[in-house]
Amino acid sequence: MPFSRRTRVSELAVPGAEATNALSRAVAAARHRASSGGRPLLDLTASNPTSAGLPYEVEAIARALAAPRALVYEPEPLGIPSARAAVAGVYAERGVALDPSRVAVTSSTSEAYAVLFKTFCDPGDEVLVPVPSYPLLAWLAAFEGVTLKTYPLEYAGHWHVDVGALARAVGPRTRLVVVVSPNNPTGSFLGKDELDAMLELDLPIVSDEVFATYPLTASGRAPAHRVDTVLRADNGLVFALSGLSKLAGLPQMKLGWIACGGDPARAEEALERLETVLDAYLSVGAPVQHALPELLRAGETTSDAIRARTRANLDVVREVARRAPSMSVLDVEGGWYATLRVPETQSDEAWALALVEDDGVYVHPGYFFDMTRGAHLVVSLLTPEPELREGMDRIAARLATDT
């Protein structure tokens, strides 16, 4: 059949993209054994807040979606005014003045990437993305006919952008610089000096900030030398992406956004182009747009619970690591994940396989995020607390046995 090469897994350079890689087969087998009465598999990769045992304001959410105004269809390419104003209010609470006219509502952060790729890139153009990072970007770029070039995040007690390597990666067809802040999985915020260096490249900056409201620092804020949002920049052209999925723990509502900042004239021109693209799809449902102010308010209960859980779980991860000399926890500043450095006596994939098959613990190997130096395992801090502690204890025991 004449299918597009963009949908052929073998054509995509995506870590772990093989349809049936060894780890996915091992996980499927472990879950089958558990369903037949065997030992349950402890899933330390859990990232779906709706199945993580978190509290939700169910009645408030239901009321917001059932309001009569949800039946009114107002086809606004950039989103209905009340929704755009609600997004601006999110940033106002963080001390960032954002005019609602600088907001474009999308069905998700993934769609936001696709819209921006369409807006700035012709087929074959290049976008700079960080490594390590979440592999979804490779899929989204492939679907848009865009080429990804990487720039490294380096670790030396904390994560930082190699700004020299970033500058050298810029070519004649480079159209965008993508940052993820906090990064998934490193949990590092973008540095203020790093943002300044990026702005000097005179390329639009797309900042995925879905985890920005989940700092893991003692102060409960991004570190002083870090950027909590690129929207504080008053020059260049910057875009901040976020949405209900992480901010309110409501991925099923399918509402995200692009907030545009920097030089006002450049922002205005960009919004005109974004409107052209979004007008062709009108993808965001009217009910969720009308409900957005109430959903954001109701989501505070869930987001507060996520903050409490991720911080408590990070304490557990660090405590267990202190008792396991062959394991250490890399510095993390925000988000839902922690990265464990484990001995290089075998690959991180081999460690992950052994943990699934022998210990009933599922973690992500570092290679899944393009971690190429050393052996690393990534655990989700969103995991319910008892499972996280038990899983970490089993990891420590495995390391003690095999090292």
pLDDT over 90 for what percent of the chain? 86
**Residue ending a domain, choose from 249, 265, 298:** 298
Q: Which of 235, 269, 298 is the last residue of a domain?
A: 298
pLDDT at residue 14, as a whole number: 55
The reply to whether 105 and 175 lie within a common domain is yes
- Pairing between β-strand 328-329 and β-strand 126-131 as defined by DSSP bridges: unpaired
**How many domains, the chain?**
2
d(Cα 153, Cα 207) in Å, to the nearest integer?
Answer: 15
> Is residue 248 located within the same domain as residue 164?
yes
Residue among 244, 249, 248 nearest 50 (CA) = 249
16 and 48 together in one domain: yes
Q: Do 307 and 194 belong together in one domain?
A: no
Say yes or no: 190 and 46 in one domain.
no
The predicted model scores a pTM of: 0.94
Indicate the average pLDDT of the chain. Answer: 94
Shared domain for 265 and 303, answered yes or no, is: no
Q: Residue 6 pLDDT > 90, yes or no?
A: no
Query: Confidence class of residue 15 from pLDDT cuts 50, 70 and 90?
Result: low
What's the average model confidence in pLDDT over 166-181? 98
* pLDDT tens digits for range 357-377: 999 999 999 999 999 889 999
| For residue 70, pLDDT beyond 80 | no
Residues 124 and 263 in one domain: yes
Rounded (5°) CA angle 78-144-103: 20
Mark whether 278 and 392 lie in a shared domain: no
Instruction: Please write the tens of the pLDDT for every residue from 272-295.
Output: 999 999 999 999 999 999 999 999
The pLDDT assigned to 19 comes to: 42
Contacts of 395 (CB under 8 A, 6+ apart): 320, 324, 327, 340, 355, 359, 361, 363, 377
pLDDT in tens, 204-237: 999 999 999 999 998 889 999 999 999 999 999 9
Say whether both 304 and 293 belong to one domain.
no
Residue that finishes a domain, picked among 281, 298, 315: 298
Owning domain of residue 102: 64-298
> Would the pLDDT of 12 be above 80?
no
Q: Is residue 251 a contact partner of residue 49, using CB atoms and an 8 Å limit?
A: yes
CATH number reported for the structural domain that contains residue 40 in this entry:
3.90.1150.10
CA distances from 210 to 13, 110, 246, 276, 311 (A): 25, 11, 6, 25, 17
**pLDDT tens, position by position, 333-351:** 999 999 999 999 999 999 9
